[in-house]
Amino acid sequence: MTTISHDFDVESIDIYTPEAYAGGAPHEVFAYLRREHPVFWQETPEGWGFWAVCRHADLVHVAKHPLLYSASLGGVVYEDLAPEQLEMMRDMVLAMDPPRHTAWRRNLAPHFKAKVMAGLEPRIREIVRGILAEAAEVGELDFAHDVCAKVPTQVVGELVGIPEEDRPQLHRWSEQNSGGQDPDIAAYAAEEASTATINMAMYAIGLAGQRREDPHDDLITLMLAAEVDGEPMTDLQFGSFFVQIVTAGNDTSRTMLSSGLWALLQHPQQLAALRADRSLIPGAVEEILRWANPLHYFRRTASADTELEGQQIRAGDKVAMMYTSANRDDAVFADPMAFDITRDPNPHLSFGIAEHFCLGVHLARLEGRVFFEELLDAFDSIEQIGDATWQRSNLNNSLKTLPVRLSR
């Protein structure tokens, strides 16, 4: 059994700055906070702070009270956004509160059902096989960037209906949206990074105009026909939704796939078990999502004075749901630091819970299952040939590089 029992100087704890995550998540710190300060006030260098909710049960409590802990009041990231950016975020489903969130979700959910997503499996399998075939020609490569980053761009493109020739640019904008805290990601196109969200939204608005004139059998056309707030979806609302689904679909799936292989390479006996029994893959995908959850946190804002774990939370306080901590809570998971593809039950929170449970859950699980089935079919040997590196980010729990050698 793996245990962590370190003590820390509370005044020196840092779970905010991107540097704290540059070498991987600070799991020892989170274990200490769960034990001693489960609702922890984190001061920031900028002079403000937030409440970090570290235990599984407390995070579930926050998620199940969306009117008290609002996604809309301040958005879902730590930083206070400019008014125009906050308004745009509020048109994303992830930053809506009931009853508006309920109405939007009711209209969107049918298009993301398991049966609908299952219809994409042949095309997803074709996409993955093509990308792995290209990788086989190279042999030695950065698995995170040269393989995993390509898969979700193509899959989301198929789901939404993005023309193939536009997908590389959408991927570029998506990386800039989520990678701005890491200089290695932001620097290669720094002049574009600050406007990536706007550029993507403007692209979506243009695409919406095309679909209104020439409807296709794709999600864009279906979304534009849906009613939100009692009215047909506007192009501006579609632009905000488009930014969310493309960015989230790219980032979280890329992380799931790359972190999944990294976890399996660190646990070769479990990788061998998957090769011997492919029926274990769905459970492995769930454990990957728990053990290497794609997002460290989402923010809420208290709409009224309240109390949690004895801490007085004031109206307007920022409250962070720390998924990276809750997913390793020993009150819920036996031997939580261990990676175990047979873990059952596995009530991880990587898809969220309650009102904001991920709309794309069925697509993510399908994508993970198909990817690892095809990966194990394509290569008899997968060898890590260099150190993995993590993205410098307090939001995205992403591998930046994973050098491997692939052999048939």
CATH number at residue 273: 1.10.630.10
The domain total for the chain is 1
pLDDT beyond 60 at 189: no
**Four-point Cα dihedral 26, 27, 28, 31, nearest 10:** 130
> What confidence score (pLDDT) does residue 181 get?
62
Q: What is the DSSP string of 347-387?
A: ---TT--GGG--TTHHHHHHHHHHHHHHHHHH-SEEEE-S-
pLDDT beyond 90 at 191: no
pLDDT beyond 60 at 96: yes
pLDDT beyond 80 at 249: no
Share of the chain above pLDDT 90, in %: 66
Residue 27 is assigned to a structural domain of this protein: yes
pLDDT beyond 70 at 91: yes
| Unique residue bearing structure tokens 């937030």 | 50
pLDDT tens digits for 322-364? 999 999 999 999 999 999 999 999 999 999 999 999 989 999 9
Share of the chain above pLDDT 70, in %: 94
The packing angle between helices 235-266 and 167-179, to 10°, is 80
Residue 3 is assigned to a structural domain of this protein: no
| Cβ contact 40:50 at 8 Å | no
pLDDT beyond 50 at 137: yes
What tokens appear for 225 in the block? 């026909």
pLDDT tens digits for 392-406? 999 999 999 999 999
Tell me the one-letter amino acid at 345. Answer: P
Segments forming the whole domain that contains residue 169: 10-407
Residue 1 is assigned to a structural domain of this protein: no
Residue 4 is assigned to a structural domain of this protein: no
Higher pLDDT, 133 or 241: 133
**Distance of alpha carbon 228 from its chain centroid, rounded?**
25
> What confidence score (pLDDT) does residue 134 get?
96
pLDDT beyond 90 at 110: no
Produce one character per residue of 297-322: b if its CB has 16 or more CB atoms within 10 Å, e if not: bbbbbbbeebebbeeebeeebbbbbb
Residue 183 is assigned to a structural domain of this protein: yes
| Cβ contact 323:296 at 8 Å | yes
Query: What mean pLDDT comes out for the span 269-286?
Result: 98
The lowest-confidence range among 55-64, 164-173, 227-236, 257-266 is 227-236
| Distances, alpha carbon 50 to alpha carbons 15, 178, 313, 350, in Å | 11, 21, 10, 21
Residue 2 is assigned to a structural domain of this protein: no
Residue 175 is assigned to a structural domain of this protein: yes
Residue 133 is assigned to a structural domain of this protein: yes
Across the chain, what does the average pLDDT equal?
90
